[in-house]
Every structure is written in C-alpha cells, then in structure tokens.
Amino acid sequence: MSWGTLAGEKKVDTEIEAHPRPHPRGMRFEGLNALVTGAGRGFGALIARAIADEGANVVVAYNTSKDGAEKLSSEIRDHGGKSITTKVDITKWTEVKSMTDKVWKDFGPIDLLVNNSGDVSSKQMSWRQITEEAIDQTLAVDIKGTLFMIHEVGSRMLERKQGTIVNVASNVIVTGSPRAPQYAASKYGVIGLTKSYALAFSPWVRVNAACPGYMDTEATTRRPDWTPERRKWVVDHTALKRIGKPEHIVPVVLFLASDDSIHMTGNIVICDGGFSMPGA
C-alpha cells in the first residue's frame, strides 16, 4: 500500500491540476445544480437564494417548512432560475437515498451540496435539563443526517469526478457549550465528517465547513436565556463588538462553495466576529 492510498482505493498516479471554472463576474455558480438542506426558512433560505442569484439551479430541501420552501423555489423560478423543492428527513437513510435518486433523475446531477440542516437544542437552557431524547435528536440530525447527505450525494459526485460540499458547523468546536453539551459534541462530529470525507473524496470533491457563532436570528432571540444582559455580555466579549447577522455569514458559505476556495478541502472557517479567537 503506497503513501496516501487506502486498501481498495484506486491510486491517483498523476498530479491533478486545478482549473477554476470560467464564469461571468458575480455568477460563480452559473449552470451548476445546487442542493441546500434546511432551506425552507432562515439561514438555509438565505444561502439558497444567494446561490441562485449567482446563477445556480437550486433544489430547496426541507423537512417541516413546506410553505417557505415552495415560496422560495417559486421566487427563484420567477427570477429566471430553475428550482424544485424536495422533502426529506435527513435522519432516515432510506429517505436520503430515495430523495437523492429522485433529484438525480428529475433535476440532474448535483454539483454543490450545502448541509445547513442542524439541531441546536433550542429548548434546552442548561446542561442540567439534558435528556436522552434531546441527545438522540441532536446527534441524529447533526451527525447522522449530515453523514447520510454527504455519503449519498458525495459518492455520486465522486463518480462524476466533480463537486463541492459545504457543511455548516459552529464555533462551539472551540468554545464548547455548557448550555447543551450534546450540541457541541454533534458539531465536533460534523468537523470529523468534513475531514474524513475530504480525504475519502479527494482529489475530485472538496469538503469544507463554515463555523458561525451567535447569529441574530429568531431561533436565538426567542430563547428565554437570551436576555439583554446576556446579549451585552456576548457583544462585550466579541472582538468586532456585534452579534453576527445571517447575511454576514452567507458570503463565507458561498466562498467555500465556489472556486474562490479551489485550493481548500477539509478546512474549517470560523466566522464569529472574533468571539472564540482560536490560536494558530
């Protein structure tokens, strides 16, 4: 077994040249097919819309937010793009498999996958409230769901020798989460999946992760523990002295999704305003 080659894997004998895809300015995804999970609302919807604005055809994947997904997909089509919706519970491998098969058949091969769906244990305000059910749910969505999506979509990308995957993790991989330890554990798992599949799918499919910190979203602001005092403490301990807005993070996801990051794989980009300030 040679260096960099695993048993049963085909060895790449020649050096692979990277050639950024030519595209009109501001249209980094023109002609590409993208799939975004959790895109029926919130951060996922912003990502899907931004990718469509730069020329991609978009599969808007959702589990519970059907109305939001259909509205977004309709808006993309109204602006001249190609878009469909698809319902999938990513915690069920059979659903992920059948969804992927159907998308490949009805929409076409996927060039870009953004795994945005996640469970942040939003109803848990303290580690003291942890339950086995909450642990199982968070790990099922964040780890199993992300793994199933990467595995099914990514393996098909690998067969075509092209594709990009962006996973949405969190800065809790640096800070931890005393509120919900299972959430921190699940996002560590997403980083493990990012690195593992970046190696497994190399050199043809790039896999990276964006790691936001606190975001000014309804999911954050409606939590009982998100008091004015808590917000002030977070701002005071953030180098940029503000809470990030989703639109501040979307460009980071698009950077990782595009050829602008063509020499990056297995990378983690923390975008939390300097709250965690990781070392080199």
Residue 30 burial (CB count, 10 A): 14
Burial letters 252-271, b for 16+ CB under 10 A, else e: bbbbbbbbebeeebbbbbbb
Residue 188, Cβ density class (10 Å: 0-12 exposed, 13-18 middle, ≥19 buried)? middle
Interatomic CA distance for residues 127 and 214, integer angstroms: 18
- Would you say 191 and 150 are in contact if contact means Cβ atoms under 8 Å apart? no
Residues with Cβ within 8 Å of residue 95, at least 6 apart in sequence = 88, 89
Residues with Cβ within 8 Å of residue 80, at least 6 apart in sequence = none
> Which residues are catalytic, by number?
183
